[in-house]
């Protein structure tokens, strides 16, 4: 199976052209439990180089990715000397790196955090600015008003939300429509084959079986994170003869007591993903990401992360794959055999 460059598509109703895959950078500059960086600055720059060499122009980050905003800083260093117009850069606001209030979506926090983000990225504007999660104490209309001001000031091109429930997304766009403000054009939910339906995880875990219907109604593009269920769908976790999970060294499961007791349904989905992988001559990783990329009637751009160039290149081979309707449906059916179980991991 030979490699091909990624293709480009129009991101929902924005008219903006993006690569069919988005590079996620939440591990850039992040600290491991031992205090070392999971992905160092040098490794981050190499991964960005490799992604751009494959044609990936879509980069996702947030002000809290990497300790003290290091993810944004590393991306900013990499962008230096490049044509900024070649790239679509997205970041987020919800957590605050400045001031005494560490979480919130008030006008004060939104306007302060955008300045920090732009400074770390070394750019005058963001292509997409996401609300990172729902915040009950912050009036939604105030948040959207502040974001609309940023659009009109040229500091943000398009607005997005992450971890919003269906009704929250609809409410946000109804407010924007009634006020003549810039709409929410992109949503970032957690979505993968074992979840089966999109989820919101901040502030609480909630299955959203109707979210994609709401997105179709409003022509909101979908950029799904965690397409591999935090590594489970790579196939690296196995079970011994007694049914106990074998957690490889360095995996999330080996570093977290709360991650590793996977529901039986997850193993059933993984078995189907691996069976399809054997049929098409690919890896479970590639099949799982290809499954996520297919959302009828919607722009669907999976967000993939990597801790090395080799891992990035291996995952990217998914763009060469074509799953038949029957193969895609088998994986879907495996995920819907039982009522949704409690998740084995939570967002932190």
DSSP 8-state code for residue 69:
G
Say how far apart CA 240 and CA 245 lie, in whole Å.
Answer: 7
Q: Catalytic residue among 8, 65, 158, 237, which?
A: 65
Q: Which residues contact 336 (CB under 8 A, 6 or more apart)?
A: 196
Structure tokens at 332: 């879907």
65 noted as active-site residue: yes
Say how far apart CA 157 and CA 16 lie, in whole Å.
Answer: 10
| Beta-carbon count within 10 A of 309 CB | 16
Q: Which residues contact 70 (CB under 8 A, 6 or more apart)?
A: 28, 29, 30, 37, 41
Residue ranges of E strands in the chain: 8-10, 17-19, 22-24, 58-60, 88-93, 126-131, 156-162, 184-188, 199-200, 206-207, 221-222, 238-239, 245-246, 303-305
Structure tokens at 156: 């943000």
Q: What is the CA radius of gyration of the chain?
A: 19
Q: Which is nearest to 96 in space by CA: 105, 84, 85, 87?
A: 105
Peptide bond into 203 cis (omega under 30): yes
Active site residues: 65
């Amino acid at each position: 199976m030979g490699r091909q460059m990624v293709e480009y598509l129009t991101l929902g109703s924005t008219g903006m052209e993006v690569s069919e895959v988005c590079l996620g950078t939440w591990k850039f500059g992040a600290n491991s439990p031992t205090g070392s960086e999971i992905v160092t600055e040098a490794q981050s720059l190499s991964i960005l180089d490799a992604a751009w060499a494959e044609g990936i122009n879509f980069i996702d980050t947030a002000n809290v990715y990497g300790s003290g905003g290091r993810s944004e800083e590393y991306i900013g260093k990499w962008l230096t000397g490049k044509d900024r117009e070649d790239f679509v850069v997205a970041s987020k606001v919800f957590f605050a790196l400045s001031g005494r209030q560490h979480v919130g979506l008030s006008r004060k926090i939104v306007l302060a955090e955008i300045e920090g983000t732009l400074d770390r990225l070394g750019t005058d504007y963001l292509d997409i600015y996401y609300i990172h999660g729902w915040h009950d104490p912050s009036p939604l209309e105030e948040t959207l008003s502040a974001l609309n001001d940023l659009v009109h000031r040229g500091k943000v091109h398009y607005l997005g939300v992450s971890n919003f429930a269906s009704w929250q997304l609809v409410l946000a766009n109804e407010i924007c429509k009634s006020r003549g403000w810039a709409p929410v054009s992109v949503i970032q939910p957690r979505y993968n084959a074992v979840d089966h339906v999109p989820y919101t995880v901040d502030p609480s875990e909630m299955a959203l079986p109707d979210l994609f219907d709401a997105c179709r109604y409003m022509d909101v593009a979908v950029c799904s994170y965690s397409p591999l269920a935090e590594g489970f769908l790579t196939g690296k976790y196995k079970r011994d003869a007694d049914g106990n999970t074998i957690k490889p060294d360095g995996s999330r499961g080996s570093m977290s007591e709360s991650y590793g007791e996977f529901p039986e349904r997850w193993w059933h989905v993984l078995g189907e993903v691996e069976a399809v992988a054997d049929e098409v001559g690919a890896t479970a990783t590639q099949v799982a990401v290809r499954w996520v990329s297919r959302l009828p009637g919607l722009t669907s751009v999976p967000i993939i992360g990597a801790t090395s160039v080799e891992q990035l290149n291996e995952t990217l081979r998914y763009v060469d794959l074509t799953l038949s309707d029957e193969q895609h449906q088998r994986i879907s059916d495996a995920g819907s055999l039982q009522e949704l179980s409690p998740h084995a991991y939570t967002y932190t």
